Amino acid sequence: MTPSLSSRLSPEIKQYLVITGNYWSFTLTDGALRMLVVLYFHQLGYSPLAIASLFLFYEIFGVVTNLLGGWLGARLGLNKTMNIGLFLQIIAVTMLALDEQLLTIAYVMIAQALSGIAKDLNKMSAKSAIKLLVPKDQDSTLYKWVALLTGSKNALKGVGFFLGGLLLTLLGFQGALWFMAAMLTVTWLASLVLLKQDLGKKKHKPKFSELLSKSRQLNLLAAARLFLFASRDIWFVIALPVFLASTFGWDHWWVGGFMASWVIAYGVVQANAPKITKNSENSFNQALFWVVALSFIPVLIAIGLWLAWQPKLVIIGGLLLFGAVFAINSSLHSFLIVKIADSDGVSMDVGFYYMANAMGRLLGTVLSGLVFQFYGLEACLVISSGMLILASIFTLGLSKRV
């Protein structure tokens, strides 16, 4: 009798597929939820900045969750933190689905806070688990697995943006949310059964004081990650969508569709980063090369806008180029953190690193609204390049392997 595909797969591959499927399901609903909230409150007449404020707790709690979530993962096991994340997302979606009269700004911010906690528990668990499934000294395999997980996640997030708009049209706000809650519940139940017990559990119970005791290499990588993601979000989160709508006269669907398409393309490039960079050798030097290359793009876009030279071509072409180079940077970073993290209690190192990622997103989101409101998109882009120069300086320390 011919063995089934499942029986021919190694236990490590099976766990990778479970983790990836879990992460995909979560990411799809996370992107859909964001688009649902944006579109629904836009229909209610909320301004872009007011809508952005609904996601403030989402980003703030991401900072805390990555730090504490890594510690919890090392104590409880990554299977538990991943399943806790899924369960919290089910609660967040259900909160928003209960009664439309409950949807005050404060109530939605609380639900988004839970969603932010859920997202970062899920992401930290998925990224950390891969370290434990790939044999040591197989950096090329590790790079490919991390790139595939990260890239497919971002592509699915873009698909989630479309899904949110589609569900809102077909099922309405509450119907869409109940559908997503049911989808997440099925994933959660499957994850409870299929995920390996105590995956990533540290051999000794880590002390709370160990949270910030990190290596110099990890601190440099985390600092570079902070400024890398702040450089993207300072112009991408609020400034760019508002600019496209107000300056180019694009309607909401054009803006949302363009942003979603960009995220999907970004994810595709991320997943294929190992093919573009060829291999995982000299990965620290490669990270330096790509972040230096990226630092020129925002300021060149700003100069093009300042000269009023084909603004649509400058913005769209510049954004596509920025997204491609940024995706390679992000994929290299995601590989490097998993590579240098300690296998015993990997989630603590990964959690600390993604705390810096969340801080960068929070900083970029706040500055995106503030700088754009007072100084315009060009200023956001110039500051973006400045942040990338700082990221390059921190990456230079890594490339020297200090």
Position 400 scores a pLDDT of: 58
* Residue 204 reports pLDDT greater than 60: no
Which has the closest alpha carbon to 236: 344, 318, 129, 303?
Answer: 318
Q: In sequence order, which ranges of 307-376 are alpha helices (DSSP H)? A: 311-340, 346-375
- Helix (H) / strand (E) element for 224: namely helix 216-236
Asked if 23 and 123 touch (Cβ cutoff 8 Å), the reply is: yes
Question: What are the structure tokens assigned to 95, written together?
Answer: 């909160």
Position 386 scores a pLDDT of: 95
> CA-to-CA distance for 123 and 23, rounded, in angstroms?
7
Cβ contacts of 400 within 8 Å, gap of 6 or more: none
Position 2 scores a pLDDT of: 43
* pLDDT tens, residue by residue, 366-394: 888 788 888 888 999 999 999 999 999 99
Mean pLDDT of 167-192: 88
Position 270 scores a pLDDT of: 85
Which has the closest alpha carbon to 43: 173, 161, 143, 155?
Answer: 173
Query: Residue 248 — φ and ψ, nearest 5°?
Result: -90, -10
Mean pLDDT of 81-107: 85
* Residue 48 reports pLDDT greater than 80: no
Least reliable range by pLDDT among 191-205, 284-298, 361-375: 191-205
Domain ranges of the chain: 10-201+215-399
pLDDT band, residue 5 (cuts 50/70/90) = very low
Per the prediction, the chain carries an average pLDDT of 79
More confident residue, 43 or 98: 98
pLDDT band, residue 185 (cuts 50/70/90) = very high
**What's the CATH fold of domain 10-201+215-399?**
Growth Hormone; Chain: A; (1.20.1250)
pLDDT band, residue 1 (cuts 50/70/90) = very low
pTM of the model: 0.77
> CA-to-CA distance for 209 and 83, rounded, in angstroms?
25
Which has the closest alpha carbon to 84: 180, 188, 161?
Answer: 188
* Residue 230 reports pLDDT greater than 90: yes
> CA-to-CA distance for 239 and 362, rounded, in angstroms?
14
